[in-house]
Amino acid sequence: MKKVNYLLLGSFMALFSCNSSDNIKDDIKIDEQVKEEKVEPLKLGDKYEGGYIFFLDFEGKHGKICAPLSDGDNKLVSQKQAIAEAEKLTLNGFSDWRLPTKDELQIIRNSDEYTVFLFKNSDYLTSETEKDVTDVQFHVLVNMDKENGGSNTSPVDWNREFHYRVVRDF
């Protein structure tokens, strides 16, 4: 009986030790994979998901991207045309582009990474319009001149043309 118990105990220990060393080897392989998959943290101005990052949340996992130089920089279009083009646009594999808000364009213009965005020193359309006290509607524009730019409005003339650039969230 003792021989059978020792034999069973020995077999169990051999089995357990084999599994333990295999697990250790698996753990080492997993650790090596994790080391290989480490990614540098995202930062403002990085090229990422179809454009350049101009805003990041505190965790650095979500933010906003500005498209690189595009058709909207090289031609003038109405706000309606710019919105329609943005809705149809697929750029660098992404199709969720849109016109930026006034605040988004101002963040880009005021950023230290401004030079990567290659804006013209001109007025750019936003997705916004405003009404004054007399109920007249205005386009909301942002002048992208780094030194002298600002936001302004222009009375809505749906045929008046401006530059535009698209952005997307990630």
Q: Is the pLDDT of residue 31 over 60?
A: no
Our separate counts of H helices and E strands in the chain read 4, 7
Is the whole-model pTM more than 0.85?
A: no
Pairing of strands 63-66, 151-155: unpaired
* 55-59, 94-98, 149-153: least confident range: 149-153
Q: How far apart are CA 114 and CA 165, in angstroms?
A: 14
28 pLDDT band, cuts 50/70/90, is low
SS3 (DSSP) at 113: coil
The domain spans of the chain are 1-38, 47-169
Q: What is the CATH number of domain 47-169?
A: 3.10.100
Distance of CA 95 to the CA centre of its chain: 13
Mean pLDDT for all residues in the chain:
78
